[in-house]
Amino acid sequence: MSTQPISSLVGTLKRAVYPVSSTLIATASLVEGTLKGGTVPFRCLFVHNTNFNDHLKQRMYEGEPTVVRKWRILIPALKRMVQHNRHGFDLCVAVLPTFYERLLGDVCDFKAYEEVRQVIDTSGGWEAMRLEFGKKKRQTTNNFSERFGLSYRMSKSVEDFDHFYYRMHVPHIRRRYGELSQINSYQDMKEFFLKGLLLFVTKDDKPIAGALSLIEGKSLIFRRTGVLDGDETVVKGGAQTALYYFQLKYAADNGFQAVDTMKSAPYLNDGVFRHKAEWGACTLPDDEATRWVFFFARGPNEKLASFFDTNPIVVTAGSSALRGVVGAPQSNNPAAAAEDIQRRYHMKGLRELRIYGADGPKTVALPLETAPPARGGPRAV
């Protein structure tokens, strides 16, 4: 009778145990460095190795922070650890399964999603939509086709899909993300295509960029994009703006109620997040999330104000509502700073702002604007 090698048995056992152990044991990393734009050391405890924590670490620190300590912890022990702040951290960020809300919900300062959804309401027609655009986007869309010499065409051709996948999407992702590229397989993308449609931005009747969208009820879901041969000069030449412009115009002219632009990093100053918001996107919770990002803010107000000034973030505000957490490090009166902050971070979907100043956080209520129509239901014709 043949037997499995010991290494193979160990590997099988690890794979069987991991789904359980990963919900009970986490990697903790205590790091210290200088916040971007600052001079004072900031100590942060990251719990769990996740893309969210890696991205936040790159956003917040000037250069590579020093790893003070790295170890494994029992997640249920985290509550006592943060209550007593045994490691003298200014902020702890823990990315954990949502069921840990029962344990940590009463001691965490904020909960956030790893990503948020952004949806643009197209139900009122094109002119009503333009009123919701940011000032620059309204100016850009004036006589757009004539100014940029761009047009578009829709396609359901498999041959066109092949061109989009191999000549636009794959090279675009590889050039932009390099070794970190995560590319859907041809077959998976083709299934998207068969359930939706393909939009090509054209110049002199030649496709230079494309967007693949799904149709779900009365919503158009902006799924994947690409530019010809991954050429970034095409993006700088207005192709990325054109993809949004023509996609929204098509949706408004063809009876769709909303364009779902999918998910974005939840930072109010993130480039992708702001780009969508300037097209009038409403920020919504990630209803597919299986993990929360728990924030435990234990440091001095001045440090936290600096952190949230450079990393303003969308967090929950009870039920399905959202709030922005921002910093005003130069202000001793966060409420007085609210007017300027609202101008910078006017985002549809936020119920309130939590503003950290030198003397602590203050909450400022905002009018909650109407969310876009939900997915599903018949599409208008």
What is the structure's pLDDT at 320? 78
Question: What tokens appear for 270 in the block?
Answer: 């993130």
- How far is CA 159 from each of CA 125, 166, 182, 193, rounded to the nearest angstrom? 32, 11, 23, 12
| pLDDT attached to residue 367 | 72
**Alpha carbon distance, N-terminus to C-terminus of the chain:** 67
Instruction: Report the pLDDT averaged over residues 52-60.
Output: 95
d(CA 141, CA 148): 10
Residue 257 pLDDT greater than 60, yes or no: yes
The mean pLDDT of 224-242, rounded to a whole number, is 83
CA 113, 119, 125: angle at the middle one, nearest 5?
165
Rounded mean pLDDT, 74-93? 95
CATH of domain 124-256: 3.40.630.30
Residue 25: count of CB within 10 angstroms of its CB? 14
- Residue carrying structure tokens 């590579």: 64
State mean pLDDT over 211-222. 92
pLDDT confidence bin for 269, thresholds 50/70/90: very high
Asked which of 25-34, 53-62, 316-325 is least confident by mean pLDDT, the reply is 316-325
CA 51-54-57 angle, to 5 degrees, is: 150
| Mean pLDDT, residues 93-103 taken together | 97
pLDDT of residue 370: 57
SS3 83: helix
Q: What is the pLDDT of residues 156-179, one digit of tens each?
A: 999 999 999 999 999 988 887 776
Asked if 75 and 23 touch (Cβ cutoff 8 Å), the reply is yes
Contacts of 218 (CB under 8 A, 6+ apart): 255, 256, 257, 258, 373, 375, 376, 377, 378, 379, 380
Is the model's pLDDT at 221 over the cut of 90?
yes
**Chain segment 333-344, per-residue pLDDT in tens:** 666 677 788 888
Q: Is the pLDDT of residue 378 over 50?
A: no
Say what the pLDDT of residue 23 is. Answer: 80
Integer Cα distance of 205 and 153 in angstroms: 9
H or E segment and range at residue 264:
strand 258-264
Q: Are strands 91-97 and 41-47 parallel, antiparallel or unpaired?
A: parallel
Q: Token pair for residue 212?
A: 């693949």
pLDDT at 381 over 50: no
Residues of the chain with CATH 3.40.630.30: 124-256
Q: Rounded mean pLDDT of the chain?
A: 87
For 281-331, give the DSSP string.
Answer: PEEE--TT--EEEEEEE-S-HHHHHHHHHHS-EEEE-STT-EEEEEE-TT-
Name which residue leads in pLDDT, 73 or 331.
Answer: 73
| Closest listed residue to residue 327, CA positions, set 353, 298, 294, 365 | 353
Is pLDDT of 2 > 60?
Answer: no
Distance from C-alpha of 73 to C-alpha of 188, rounded to nearest angstrom: 38
pLDDT at residue 22 greater than cutoff 70: no
